[in-house]
Amino acid sequence: MRRMIATLTGAAAAALIVPALVAAAPASARTAPDDPVSALKSQFTAHRGVKLDEQGKLIGEGKTERVILSRRAGVLEFGRKGVVASDLTSTFSLPSGDKELAEEFKDLFSPTRVITVKGFSYTDGKFYGDAMPEGKKWVRARAGLASPGNPAQQLVNPLEPATLKAVLARTAAKRPGGTWDGARTVVHSGTITLGELYKVSPTVRALLGAKPSATSAVLPVKWQLYIGSDRLVRRAVSSWTQSLRGLTSIDLTYLNDSRYSGWGVKSAIEAPPADQVAEVGELDFEGGNEDPFARLMTTEN
C-alpha cells in the first residue's frame, strides 16, 4: 500500500497522466454582465466564492468493464484574479467483486479532504495510510490545480476566464437547460480538442503534466455549459476517451458533471493547525512505479 501511495505524492491523478499524454447579494440580484466571461470576472472578490458539487466517472473498457465513481464537494474561494483557495472533500466508489483489492486500496480511496490556501495544499492523512508520522493529520505540499487521488476531474474548468472564452467560442448548439441553483439556464454545447484546452487551461496543463503528443492533442472533449440569465455557469459536463492499448489492454473514458451554486458565498479558508501538519519528506514509504488506477481497471474479477 505504501509503495502505491508514493506514486501519487507528486501527481494529482496517476490514471490521467501516462507517457503518451504526458453572503453577498445573490448573483441573480445584480445587474447581469453581457457575457459569461465578464460575469465570471465580476465574481473575483476576496473572501467570496462559489460552492462546488462534482461527480466523476472513470470507465475502463476492456475484457471486463470497471468503473470508479468519484464525488468532490466544498467551497472554492476567489481572489482578484480567480480561485485562490479551496476546501474540498472527495469520496470514491471502487469496482466491486474483489475484496482483497478493496482492502488494499481502502486508505487511498477513503473520503479525502484537501484544503488549498496560500500556495500550499493540505491533504487529510488517511489518504497516505500508515506512511503518516504519528500524531499528524495532514500532509502539506506545494499546491497544484488538481486534487490528489481524483482521476476524473472536470477537464473544462469554467472558472478560468481564458478557458471559458475558448470553449464558448466553439459552441455548436444551444437549448433550454432547465433551472439550476434557482436560475433558468441555457445549455451551450460543443467539442474542443485536448490540445486546444492544454493551450488555454492551467488546470489541464496541471493534470496532464506535459504537452500532449500529436496523437493525443486531437482527442475530442465533448462539453456542455449550463449558463444562467445572469451569465454565470451553473453546471459543466465534459467527457473524453483515452486509449491505453499498447500500454495496457484498456480504453479509459472520463465523465464529469460539476454543479456550481451559491455564487458570492462568504469564504475565509485557513490552513490546519501547524502542529497537525507533516511535510511530504516526513512520510515513511518506499517508492514504486505501479499505477493503482490502471491496476484497478485491468485486474480480473
Read off the pLDDT of residues 221-263 as tens digits, 9 standing for 90 and up. 999 999 999 999 999 999 998 775 544 556 788 899 999 999 9
Task: Look at strands 138-142 and 171-180 and give their pairing.
Answer: unpaired
CB atoms within 10 A of CB 60: 25
Q: What is the pLDDT of residue 84?
A: 94
Per-residue pLDDT at 98: 56
Tell me the chain's radius of gyration from C-alpha atoms.
19
- ∠145-210-154 over CA atoms, to 5°? 40
Specify whether the backbone of 181 is left (phi greater than 0), alpha (psi in -120 to 50) or beta. left
Round to whole Å and give the CA distance between 15 and 244: 10
Please give the model's pTM, rounded to 2 decimal places: 0.80
Tens-digit pLDDT profile for residues 259-282: 999 999 999 999 999 999 999 888
Domain assignments of the chain as residue spans, ordered by start: 2-284
